[in-house]
Structure 1
Protein backbone atom coordinates (compact mmCIF):
# COMPACT_ATOMS: atom_id res chain seq x y z
CA UNK A 1 0.00 0.00 0.00
CA UNK A 2 1.35 3.43 -0.90
CA UNK A 3 1.40 6.22 1.67
CA UNK A 4 -1.16 8.29 -0.20
CA UNK A 5 -3.80 5.56 0.05
CA UNK A 6 -2.89 4.93 3.68
CA UNK A 7 -3.41 8.57 4.65
CA UNK A 8 -6.60 8.71 2.61
CA UNK A 9 -8.04 5.78 4.58
CA UNK A 10 -6.93 7.29 7.90
CA UNK A 11 -8.43 10.65 7.01
CA UNK A 12 -11.77 9.09 6.08
CA UNK A 13 -11.68 6.97 9.24
CA UNK A 14 -11.15 10.04 11.43
CA UNK A 15 -14.00 11.82 9.62
CA UNK A 16 -16.33 8.81 9.90
CA UNK A 17 -16.71 8.61 6.11
CA UNK A 18 -15.42 5.11 5.37
CA UNK A 19 -17.55 3.02 3.04
CA UNK A 20 -18.07 -0.67 3.81
CA UNK A 21 -15.45 -1.57 1.21
CA UNK A 22 -12.97 0.93 2.63
CA UNK A 23 -13.65 -0.26 6.16
CA UNK A 24 -12.85 -3.81 5.06
CA UNK A 25 -9.70 -2.54 3.33
CA UNK A 26 -8.65 -0.77 6.54
CA UNK A 27 -9.18 -3.93 8.61
CA UNK A 28 -7.11 -5.94 6.13
CA UNK A 29 -4.31 -3.36 6.33
CA UNK A 30 -4.31 -3.62 10.12
CA UNK A 31 -4.22 -7.41 9.98
CA UNK A 32 -1.27 -7.19 7.57
CA UNK A 33 0.56 -4.72 9.81
CA UNK A 34 0.45 -1.92 7.24
CA UNK A 35 -1.45 0.35 9.63
CA UNK A 36 -0.92 0.40 13.39
CA UNK A 37 -3.90 0.59 15.74
CA UNK A 38 -2.30 3.60 17.42
CA UNK A 39 -2.76 5.55 14.21
CA UNK A 40 -6.53 5.17 14.54
CA UNK A 41 -6.81 6.59 18.04
CA UNK A 42 -5.84 10.21 17.41
CA UNK A 43 -9.31 11.64 16.75
CA UNK A 44 -9.10 15.26 17.83
CA UNK A 45 -10.89 16.99 14.98
CA UNK A 46 -13.94 18.10 16.95
CA UNK A 47 -13.60 21.73 17.98
CA UNK A 48 -16.94 22.62 19.50
CA UNK A 49 -17.45 26.29 20.11
CA UNK A 50 -19.32 25.45 23.31
CA UNK A 51 -16.03 24.62 25.04
CA UNK A 52 -15.24 28.31 25.41
CA UNK A 53 -18.65 29.55 26.45
CA UNK A 54 -17.99 29.48 30.19
CA UNK A 55 -14.98 31.80 29.73
CA UNK A 56 -17.04 34.17 27.57
CA UNK A 57 -19.49 34.60 30.45
CA UNK A 58 -16.88 36.52 32.47
CA UNK A 59 -18.30 39.93 31.47
CA UNK A 60 -21.75 41.43 30.95
CA UNK A 61 -21.09 41.96 27.24
CA UNK A 62 -20.13 38.33 26.75
CA UNK A 63 -23.10 37.09 28.76
CA UNK A 64 -25.44 39.20 26.64
CA UNK A 65 -23.85 37.91 23.46
CA UNK A 66 -24.18 34.33 24.68
CA UNK A 67 -27.95 34.71 25.22
CA UNK A 68 -28.34 36.34 21.81
CA UNK A 69 -26.49 33.48 20.13
CA UNK A 70 -28.67 30.86 21.81
CA UNK A 71 -31.77 32.79 20.77
CA UNK A 72 -30.49 33.03 17.18
CA UNK A 73 -29.94 29.27 17.21
CA UNK A 74 -33.61 28.66 17.95
CA UNK A 75 -34.96 31.43 15.69
CA UNK A 76 -32.13 32.25 13.23
CA UNK A 77 -32.27 35.67 11.58
CA UNK A 78 -30.39 36.89 8.48
CA UNK A 79 -26.81 37.67 9.40
CA UNK A 80 -25.83 41.33 9.73
CA UNK A 81 -22.55 42.82 8.66
CA UNK A 82 -21.28 43.02 12.23
CA UNK A 83 -22.39 39.53 13.28
CA UNK A 84 -19.43 37.20 12.96
CA UNK A 85 -20.53 34.28 15.14
CA UNK A 86 -21.45 31.17 13.15
CA UNK A 87 -22.34 27.83 14.66
CA UNK A 88 -21.41 24.55 12.97
CA UNK A 89 -24.03 23.25 10.54
CA UNK A 90 -24.92 20.29 12.75
CA UNK A 91 -25.93 22.66 15.55
CA UNK A 92 -28.67 24.01 13.26
CA UNK A 93 -30.43 20.67 13.03
CA UNK A 94 -34.10 21.08 14.07
CA UNK A 95 -33.76 18.48 16.81
CA UNK A 96 -30.74 20.27 18.30
CA UNK A 97 -32.55 23.60 18.13
CA UNK A 98 -35.44 22.08 20.10
CA UNK A 99 -32.93 20.82 22.65
CA UNK A 100 -31.67 24.36 23.12
CA UNK A 101 -35.24 25.63 23.32
CA UNK A 102 -35.93 23.26 26.21
CA UNK A 103 -32.91 24.36 28.22
CA UNK A 104 -32.88 28.08 27.34
CA UNK A 105 -35.38 29.27 30.03
CA UNK A 106 -33.36 27.71 32.85
CA UNK A 107 -30.09 28.96 31.40
CA UNK A 108 -31.52 32.46 30.91
CA UNK A 109 -32.62 32.58 34.56
CA UNK A 110 -29.14 31.52 35.66
CA UNK A 111 -27.49 34.17 33.51
CA UNK A 112 -29.82 36.89 34.82
CA UNK A 113 -29.12 35.82 38.38
CA UNK A 114 -25.39 36.15 37.77
CA UNK A 115 -25.71 39.43 35.87
CA UNK A 116 -27.47 41.32 38.67
CA UNK A 117 -25.51 39.88 41.55
CA UNK A 118 -22.36 41.75 42.59
CA UNK A 119 -21.38 39.77 45.67
CA UNK A 120 -17.86 38.33 45.15
CA UNK A 121 -18.56 35.49 47.58
CA UNK A 122 -21.43 34.26 45.40
CA UNK A 123 -19.59 34.35 42.06
CA UNK A 124 -18.07 30.88 42.33
CA UNK A 125 -21.45 29.30 43.01
CA UNK A 126 -23.05 31.22 40.16
CA UNK A 127 -20.32 30.17 37.76
CA UNK A 128 -20.83 26.55 38.80
CA UNK A 129 -24.55 26.89 38.07
CA UNK A 130 -23.85 28.23 34.58
CA UNK A 131 -21.35 25.47 33.91
CA UNK A 132 -23.90 22.89 35.04
CA UNK A 133 -26.41 24.23 32.54
CA UNK A 134 -23.76 24.06 29.80
CA UNK A 135 -23.16 20.41 30.69
CA UNK A 136 -26.91 19.80 30.45
CA UNK A 137 -26.93 21.37 26.99
CA UNK A 138 -24.05 19.21 25.83
CA UNK A 139 -25.72 16.07 27.20
CA UNK A 140 -28.98 16.90 25.45
CA UNK A 141 -27.16 17.55 22.18
CA UNK A 142 -25.28 14.26 22.50
CA UNK A 143 -28.54 12.33 22.91
CA UNK A 144 -30.04 14.16 19.93
CA UNK A 145 -27.08 13.60 17.61
CA UNK A 146 -26.96 9.88 18.43
CA UNK A 147 -30.31 9.56 16.65
CA UNK A 148 -29.05 11.06 13.38
CA UNK A 149 -28.71 8.91 10.25
CA UNK A 150 -25.26 10.27 9.43
CA UNK A 151 -22.47 8.24 11.04
CA UNK A 152 -20.29 11.37 11.22
CA UNK A 153 -22.98 13.10 13.31
CA UNK A 154 -23.20 10.09 15.63
CA UNK A 155 -19.42 10.11 15.94
CA UNK A 156 -19.56 13.78 16.94
CA UNK A 157 -22.17 12.86 19.53
CA UNK A 158 -19.90 10.28 21.14
CA UNK A 159 -16.96 12.66 21.25
CA UNK A 160 -19.15 15.37 22.72
CA UNK A 161 -18.86 13.33 25.94
CA UNK A 162 -15.32 14.72 26.18
CA UNK A 163 -16.83 18.18 26.61
CA UNK A 164 -18.95 17.02 29.54
CA UNK A 165 -17.04 17.23 32.81
CA UNK A 166 -17.84 13.88 34.38
CA UNK A 167 -15.98 12.89 37.52
CA UNK A 168 -17.66 9.48 37.49
CA UNK A 169 -19.84 7.39 35.24
CA UNK A 170 -23.16 9.06 34.46
CA UNK A 171 -25.88 6.41 34.07
CA UNK A 172 -27.80 8.28 31.37
CA UNK A 173 -24.69 8.84 29.28
CA UNK A 174 -23.19 5.37 29.75
CA UNK A 175 -26.49 3.71 28.83
CA UNK A 176 -26.57 5.76 25.63
CA UNK A 177 -22.97 4.81 24.85
CA UNK A 178 -23.62 1.10 25.46
CA UNK A 179 -26.74 1.17 23.30
CA UNK A 180 -24.68 2.73 20.52
CA UNK A 181 -21.79 0.30 21.04
CA UNK A 182 -24.12 -2.70 20.75
CA UNK A 183 -26.30 -1.50 17.88
CA UNK A 184 -24.61 1.12 15.73
CA UNK A 185 -23.83 -0.21 12.22
CA UNK A 186 -20.65 1.87 11.91
CA UNK A 187 -17.46 0.40 13.47
CA UNK A 188 -15.92 3.87 13.83
CA UNK A 189 -18.77 4.99 16.07
CA UNK A 190 -18.50 1.82 18.16
CA UNK A 191 -14.75 2.30 18.56
CA UNK A 192 -15.37 5.82 19.81
CA UNK A 193 -17.86 4.45 22.36
CA UNK A 194 -15.25 2.02 23.70
CA UNK A 195 -12.74 4.86 24.00
CA UNK A 196 -15.15 6.96 26.07
CA UNK A 197 -16.44 4.09 28.22
CA UNK A 198 -12.92 2.91 29.03
CA UNK A 199 -12.43 6.14 31.00
CA UNK A 200 -14.83 4.80 33.65
CA UNK A 201 -13.47 1.30 34.22
CA UNK A 202 -13.54 1.89 37.96
CA UNK A 203 -17.34 1.57 37.77
CA UNK A 204 -18.46 -2.11 37.99
CA UNK A 205 -21.47 -1.53 35.72
CA UNK A 206 -19.18 -0.17 33.00
CA UNK A 207 -16.81 -3.14 33.20
CA UNK A 208 -19.72 -5.60 33.12
CA UNK A 209 -21.33 -3.76 30.22
CA UNK A 210 -18.14 -3.92 28.18
CA UNK A 211 -17.88 -7.68 28.74
CA UNK A 212 -21.49 -8.15 27.61
CA UNK A 213 -20.88 -5.92 24.59
CA UNK A 214 -18.31 -8.37 23.17
CA UNK A 215 -21.03 -10.76 21.98
CA UNK A 216 -22.67 -8.00 19.95
CA UNK A 217 -19.60 -7.29 17.83
CA UNK A 218 -18.63 -8.54 14.39
CA UNK A 219 -15.92 -6.05 13.40
CA UNK A 220 -12.32 -7.21 13.96
CA UNK A 221 -11.30 -3.63 14.78
CA UNK A 222 -13.92 -3.36 17.50
CA UNK A 223 -13.02 -6.79 18.88
CA UNK A 224 -9.34 -5.85 19.06
CA UNK A 225 -10.20 -2.67 20.91
CA UNK A 226 -12.39 -4.54 23.40
CA UNK A 227 -9.63 -7.11 23.87
CA UNK A 228 -7.29 -4.32 25.00
CA UNK A 229 -9.87 -3.24 27.57
CA UNK A 230 -10.39 -6.81 28.80
CA UNK A 231 -6.65 -7.22 29.29
CA UNK A 232 -6.62 -4.00 31.31
CA UNK A 233 -9.43 -5.12 33.64
CA UNK A 234 -8.39 -8.82 33.61
CA UNK A 235 -11.94 -10.14 33.39
CA UNK A 236 -11.98 -13.95 33.04
CA UNK A 237 -15.45 -13.95 31.48
CA UNK A 238 -14.02 -12.15 28.47
CA UNK A 239 -12.59 -15.34 26.95
CA UNK A 240 -15.98 -17.06 26.77
CA UNK A 241 -17.60 -13.88 25.47
CA UNK A 242 -15.07 -13.63 22.66
CA UNK A 243 -15.49 -17.28 21.72
CA UNK A 244 -19.25 -16.75 21.41
CA UNK A 245 -18.65 -13.65 19.31
CA UNK A 246 -16.24 -15.56 17.05
CA UNK A 247 -18.90 -18.22 16.48
CA UNK A 248 -21.37 -15.57 15.29
CA UNK A 249 -19.00 -13.51 13.17
CA UNK A 250 -16.60 -14.49 10.42
CA UNK A 251 -13.57 -13.30 12.33
CA UNK A 252 -10.21 -13.63 10.52
CA UNK A 253 -8.08 -16.39 12.10
CA UNK A 254 -5.24 -13.91 12.70
CA UNK A 255 -7.48 -11.68 14.79
CA UNK A 256 -9.04 -14.62 16.65
CA UNK A 257 -5.64 -16.10 17.54
CA UNK A 258 -4.21 -12.72 18.52
CA UNK A 259 -7.08 -11.94 20.89
CA UNK A 260 -7.26 -15.37 22.53
CA UNK A 261 -3.48 -15.55 22.81
CA UNK A 262 -3.16 -12.18 24.51
CA UNK A 263 -6.08 -12.89 26.84
CA UNK A 264 -4.68 -16.27 27.90
CA UNK A 265 -1.34 -14.67 28.75
CA UNK A 266 -2.81 -11.71 30.61
CA UNK A 267 -5.74 -13.23 32.51
Structure 2
Protein backbone atom coordinates (compact mmCIF):
# COMPACT_ATOMS: atom_id res chain seq x y z
CA UNK A 1 0.00 0.00 0.00
CA UNK A 2 1.36 3.41 -0.92
CA UNK A 3 1.26 6.37 1.45
CA UNK A 4 -1.34 8.19 -0.64
CA UNK A 5 -3.85 5.35 -0.34
CA UNK A 6 -3.11 5.00 3.36
CA UNK A 7 -3.76 8.71 3.97
CA UNK A 8 -6.96 8.50 1.93
CA UNK A 9 -8.31 5.64 4.04
CA UNK A 10 -7.42 7.40 7.29
CA UNK A 11 -9.01 10.65 6.11
CA UNK A 12 -12.24 8.90 5.14
CA UNK A 13 -12.24 6.93 8.40
CA UNK A 14 -12.01 10.07 10.54
CA UNK A 15 -14.70 11.74 8.42
CA UNK A 16 -17.00 8.70 8.72
CA UNK A 17 -17.15 8.25 4.93
CA UNK A 18 -15.69 4.75 4.50
CA UNK A 19 -17.59 2.42 2.19
CA UNK A 20 -18.07 -1.22 3.19
CA UNK A 21 -15.25 -2.26 0.85
CA UNK A 22 -12.94 0.45 2.19
CA UNK A 23 -13.73 -0.52 5.77
CA UNK A 24 -12.71 -4.10 4.95
CA UNK A 25 -9.54 -2.79 3.30
CA UNK A 26 -8.75 -0.76 6.43
CA UNK A 27 -9.22 -3.82 8.66
CA UNK A 28 -6.90 -5.86 6.46
CA UNK A 29 -4.26 -3.11 6.65
CA UNK A 30 -4.51 -3.07 10.45
CA UNK A 31 -4.20 -6.85 10.65
CA UNK A 32 -1.19 -6.76 8.32
CA UNK A 33 0.48 -4.07 10.41
CA UNK A 34 0.38 -1.48 7.61
CA UNK A 35 -1.72 0.86 9.76
CA UNK A 36 -1.25 1.14 13.52
CA UNK A 37 -4.24 1.50 15.84
CA UNK A 38 -2.76 4.70 17.23
CA UNK A 39 -3.12 6.27 13.78
CA UNK A 40 -6.90 5.98 14.08
CA UNK A 41 -6.69 8.28 17.12
CA UNK A 42 -9.99 7.01 18.56
CA UNK A 43 -8.51 5.39 21.63
CA UNK A 44 -6.36 8.44 22.35
CA UNK A 45 -9.35 10.70 21.75
CA UNK A 46 -11.51 8.73 24.17
CA UNK A 47 -8.78 8.84 26.79
CA UNK A 48 -8.46 12.60 26.26
CA UNK A 49 -12.20 13.06 26.68
CA UNK A 50 -12.31 10.94 29.83
CA UNK A 51 -9.36 12.88 31.19
CA UNK A 52 -11.35 16.01 30.40
CA UNK A 53 -14.07 14.80 32.74
CA UNK A 54 -11.50 14.50 35.51
CA UNK A 55 -10.33 18.04 34.74
CA UNK A 56 -13.92 19.22 34.93
CA UNK A 57 -14.11 17.66 38.38
CA UNK A 58 -11.02 19.59 39.40
CA UNK A 59 -12.64 22.78 38.09
CA UNK A 60 -15.76 22.10 40.14
CA UNK A 61 -13.62 21.69 43.24
CA UNK A 62 -11.92 25.03 42.65
CA UNK A 63 -15.24 26.78 42.10
CA UNK A 64 -16.61 25.31 45.32
CA UNK A 65 -13.63 26.59 47.31
CA UNK A 66 -14.01 30.00 45.69
CA UNK A 67 -17.65 30.21 46.77
CA UNK A 68 -16.76 29.23 50.35
CA UNK A 69 -14.26 32.08 50.60
CA UNK A 70 -16.58 34.78 49.24
CA UNK A 71 -18.06 37.27 51.66
CA UNK A 72 -20.23 38.87 48.98
CA UNK A 73 -23.70 37.25 49.00
CA UNK A 74 -23.93 37.52 45.20
CA UNK A 75 -23.12 34.20 43.57
CA UNK A 76 -20.39 34.37 40.95
CA UNK A 77 -21.23 33.43 37.35
CA UNK A 78 -19.60 30.16 36.29
CA UNK A 79 -16.98 30.44 33.60
CA UNK A 80 -18.13 29.53 30.10
CA UNK A 81 -16.38 26.74 28.30
CA UNK A 82 -16.09 26.03 24.63
CA UNK A 83 -15.48 22.31 25.15
CA UNK A 84 -17.88 20.05 23.32
CA UNK A 85 -17.93 16.32 23.94
CA UNK A 86 -17.93 14.40 20.64
CA UNK A 87 -17.94 10.63 20.30
CA UNK A 88 -15.35 9.00 18.01
CA UNK A 89 -16.65 7.10 14.99
CA UNK A 90 -16.37 3.65 16.54
CA UNK A 91 -18.37 4.78 19.59
CA UNK A 92 -21.32 5.39 17.24
CA UNK A 93 -21.90 1.63 17.10
CA UNK A 94 -25.27 0.90 18.81
CA UNK A 95 -23.81 -1.51 21.36
CA UNK A 96 -20.98 0.82 22.30
CA UNK A 97 -23.25 3.85 22.53
CA UNK A 98 -25.60 1.90 24.79
CA UNK A 99 -22.75 0.97 27.11
CA UNK A 100 -21.45 4.53 27.19
CA UNK A 101 -24.94 5.89 27.86
CA UNK A 102 -25.38 3.43 30.71
CA UNK A 103 -22.31 4.56 32.62
CA UNK A 104 -22.37 8.33 32.00
CA UNK A 105 -25.36 9.03 34.32
CA UNK A 106 -23.43 7.41 37.16
CA UNK A 107 -20.45 9.63 36.47
CA UNK A 108 -22.70 12.67 36.13
CA UNK A 109 -24.31 11.97 39.49
CA UNK A 110 -20.87 11.64 41.04
CA UNK A 111 -19.79 15.01 39.64
CA UNK A 112 -22.99 16.68 40.85
CA UNK A 113 -22.63 15.15 44.29
CA UNK A 114 -19.06 16.42 44.41
CA UNK A 115 -20.11 19.95 43.52
CA UNK A 116 -22.80 20.29 46.18
CA UNK A 117 -21.45 18.12 48.99
CA UNK A 118 -17.71 18.62 48.73
CA UNK A 119 -15.75 18.77 51.96
CA UNK A 120 -12.00 19.41 51.80
CA UNK A 121 -11.29 16.74 54.43
CA UNK A 122 -12.83 14.04 52.22
CA UNK A 123 -11.18 15.23 49.01
CA UNK A 124 -8.85 12.30 48.39
CA UNK A 125 -11.49 9.63 48.89
CA UNK A 126 -14.03 11.39 46.67
CA UNK A 127 -11.51 11.96 43.90
CA UNK A 128 -10.57 8.27 44.05
CA UNK A 129 -14.25 7.37 43.61
CA UNK A 130 -14.51 9.46 40.46
CA UNK A 131 -11.30 7.98 39.09
CA UNK A 132 -12.78 4.54 39.68
CA UNK A 133 -15.79 5.53 37.60
CA UNK A 134 -13.48 6.56 34.77
CA UNK A 135 -11.81 3.15 34.91
CA UNK A 136 -15.26 1.52 34.85
CA UNK A 137 -16.08 3.40 31.64
CA UNK A 138 -12.91 2.16 29.97
CA UNK A 139 -13.61 -1.39 31.16
CA UNK A 140 -17.16 -1.31 29.79
CA UNK A 141 -15.89 0.00 26.46
CA UNK A 142 -13.36 -2.84 26.30
CA UNK A 143 -15.97 -5.52 27.09
CA UNK A 144 -18.35 -4.13 24.47
CA UNK A 145 -15.75 -3.87 21.71
CA UNK A 146 -14.58 -7.45 22.33
CA UNK A 147 -18.02 -8.62 21.17
CA UNK A 148 -17.82 -6.85 17.80
CA UNK A 149 -17.56 -8.85 14.57
CA UNK A 150 -14.81 -6.62 13.20
CA UNK A 151 -11.34 -7.83 14.17
CA UNK A 152 -10.05 -4.25 14.16
CA UNK A 153 -12.68 -3.33 16.78
CA UNK A 154 -11.57 -6.27 18.94
CA UNK A 155 -7.96 -5.13 18.56
CA UNK A 156 -9.06 -1.71 19.80
CA UNK A 157 -10.62 -3.39 22.82
CA UNK A 158 -7.35 -5.07 23.77
CA UNK A 159 -5.52 -1.80 23.12
CA UNK A 160 -7.93 -0.06 25.51
CA UNK A 161 -6.69 -2.29 28.35
CA UNK A 162 -3.48 -0.25 28.28
CA UNK A 163 -5.47 2.84 29.25
CA UNK A 164 -6.89 1.15 32.36
CA UNK A 165 -4.84 1.82 35.48
CA UNK A 166 -4.35 -1.61 37.05
CA UNK A 167 -1.93 -2.15 39.91
CA UNK A 168 -2.53 -5.91 39.73
CA UNK A 169 -4.43 -8.34 37.54
CA UNK A 170 -8.11 -7.43 37.42
CA UNK A 171 -10.12 -10.65 37.37
CA UNK A 172 -12.90 -9.32 35.14
CA UNK A 173 -10.45 -8.03 32.56
CA UNK A 174 -8.12 -11.04 32.61
CA UNK A 175 -11.06 -13.41 32.18
CA UNK A 176 -12.18 -11.43 29.13
CA UNK A 177 -8.65 -11.50 27.70
CA UNK A 178 -8.33 -15.25 28.26
CA UNK A 179 -11.71 -15.90 26.64
CA UNK A 180 -10.56 -13.88 23.62
CA UNK A 181 -7.16 -15.59 23.56
CA UNK A 182 -8.78 -19.03 23.52
CA UNK A 183 -11.62 -18.34 21.08
CA UNK A 184 -10.93 -15.39 18.79
CA UNK A 185 -10.52 -16.47 15.14
CA UNK A 186 -7.95 -13.74 14.42
CA UNK A 187 -4.30 -14.51 15.35
CA UNK A 188 -3.44 -10.81 15.70
CA UNK A 189 -6.13 -10.34 18.33
CA UNK A 190 -4.80 -13.37 20.21
CA UNK A 191 -1.25 -12.03 20.04
CA UNK A 192 -2.43 -8.72 21.48
CA UNK A 193 -4.08 -10.60 24.37
CA UNK A 194 -0.83 -12.43 25.14
CA UNK A 195 1.02 -9.12 25.15
CA UNK A 196 -1.38 -7.63 27.72
CA UNK A 197 -1.63 -10.75 29.90
CA UNK A 198 2.16 -11.08 30.05
CA UNK A 199 2.22 -7.84 32.06
CA UNK A 200 0.64 -9.71 34.98
CA UNK A 201 2.87 -12.77 35.21
CA UNK A 202 3.30 -12.17 38.94
CA UNK A 203 -0.28 -13.38 39.38
CA UNK A 204 -0.47 -17.22 39.66
CA UNK A 205 -3.89 -17.36 37.96
CA UNK A 206 -2.49 -15.53 34.93
CA UNK A 207 0.47 -17.89 34.61
CA UNK A 208 -1.80 -20.92 34.95
CA UNK A 209 -4.26 -19.48 32.44
CA UNK A 210 -1.53 -18.95 29.87
CA UNK A 211 -0.39 -22.56 30.24
CA UNK A 212 -3.95 -23.80 29.72
CA UNK A 213 -4.37 -21.49 26.73
CA UNK A 214 -1.64 -23.34 24.81
CA UNK A 215 -3.97 -26.24 24.03
CA UNK A 216 -6.47 -23.89 22.38
CA UNK A 217 -4.02 -22.55 19.81
CA UNK A 218 -3.45 -23.55 16.19
CA UNK A 219 -1.57 -20.52 14.87
CA UNK A 220 2.23 -20.96 14.73
CA UNK A 221 2.75 -17.27 15.53
CA UNK A 222 0.57 -17.49 18.63
CA UNK A 223 2.32 -20.67 19.73
CA UNK A 224 5.74 -19.05 19.33
CA UNK A 225 4.59 -16.07 21.38
CA UNK A 226 3.29 -18.32 24.15
CA UNK A 227 6.56 -20.27 24.06
CA UNK A 228 8.44 -17.04 24.82
CA UNK A 229 6.19 -16.49 27.84
CA UNK A 230 6.64 -20.08 29.04
CA UNK A 231 10.42 -19.70 28.86
CA UNK A 232 10.14 -16.53 30.93
CA UNK A 233 8.09 -18.19 33.69
CA UNK A 234 9.85 -21.59 33.35
CA UNK A 235 6.69 -23.65 33.72
CA UNK A 236 7.40 -27.37 33.25
CA UNK A 237 3.77 -28.12 32.36
CA UNK A 238 4.19 -26.09 29.20
CA UNK A 239 5.98 -28.92 27.37
CA UNK A 240 3.05 -31.33 27.74
CA UNK A 241 0.58 -28.57 26.83
CA UNK A 242 2.46 -27.81 23.62
CA UNK A 243 2.65 -31.50 22.67
CA UNK A 244 -1.14 -31.76 23.04
CA UNK A 245 -1.58 -28.62 20.95
CA UNK A 246 0.71 -30.01 18.25
CA UNK A 247 -1.39 -33.18 18.08
CA UNK A 248 -4.55 -31.12 17.46
CA UNK A 249 -3.10 -28.61 15.01
CA UNK A 250 -1.10 -29.08 11.83
CA UNK A 251 1.92 -27.27 13.19
CA UNK A 252 4.88 -26.94 10.78
CA UNK A 253 7.76 -29.23 11.87
CA UNK A 254 10.22 -26.33 12.09
CA UNK A 255 7.92 -24.48 14.52
CA UNK A 256 7.33 -27.60 16.57
CA UNK A 257 11.06 -28.38 16.82
CA UNK A 258 11.95 -24.77 17.62
CA UNK A 259 9.45 -24.54 20.49
CA UNK A 260 10.28 -27.91 22.05
CA UNK A 261 14.01 -27.30 21.64
CA UNK A 262 13.93 -23.92 23.34
CA UNK A 263 11.71 -25.18 26.14
CA UNK A 264 13.96 -28.17 26.85
CA UNK A 265 16.99 -25.90 27.12
CA UNK A 266 15.30 -23.29 29.29
CA UNK A 267 13.18 -25.39 31.66
Normalized against structure 2, the TM-score is what? Answer: 0.73
Q: Which has the larger radius of gyration?
A: 2
Task: Report if aligned partners of 2:142, 2:158 keep a CA contact under 8 Å in 1.
Answer: yes
Deviations 1:57-116 (A, max 9, x none): 321399999999999999999999977543211112111121122222321221012122
Task: Report if aligned partners of 1:17, 1:152 keep a CA contact under 8 Å in 2.
Answer: no
In the TM superposition, residue 44 of structure 1 has moved relative to its aligned partner by: 9.5
Cα separation, 2, equivalents of 1:149 and 1:71: 59
Cα separation, 2, equivalents of 1:219 and 1:72: 71
Aligned length: 267
- Over 3 Å counting, the alpha-carbon distance change for 1:222 and 1:97 in structure 2 is same
- Over 3 Å counting, the alpha-carbon distance change for 1:253 and 1:140 in structure 2 is same
Deviations 1:11-62 (A, max 9, x none): 9999999999999999999999999999999999996643554234321399
In the TM superposition, residue 243 of structure 1 has moved relative to its aligned partner by: 1.1
Cα separation, 2, equivalents of 1:72 and 1:210: 64
Unaligned runs of 5+ in 1: none
In the TM superposition, residue 190 of structure 1 has moved relative to its aligned partner by: 0.3
Task: Report if aligned partners of 1:46, 1:156 keep a CA contact under 8 Å in 2.
Answer: no
Range 76-85 or range 175-184, more displaced: 76-85
| Secondary structure at 1:116 match in 2 | helix
Normalized against structure 1, the TM-score is what? Answer: 0.73
Unaligned runs of 5+ in 2: none
Task: Report if aligned partners of 1:15, 1:152 keep a CA contact under 8 Å in 2.
Answer: no
Task: Report if aligned partners of 2:145, 2:154 keep a CA contact under 8 Å in 1.
Answer: yes
In the TM superposition, residue 173 of structure 1 has moved relative to its aligned partner by: 1.1
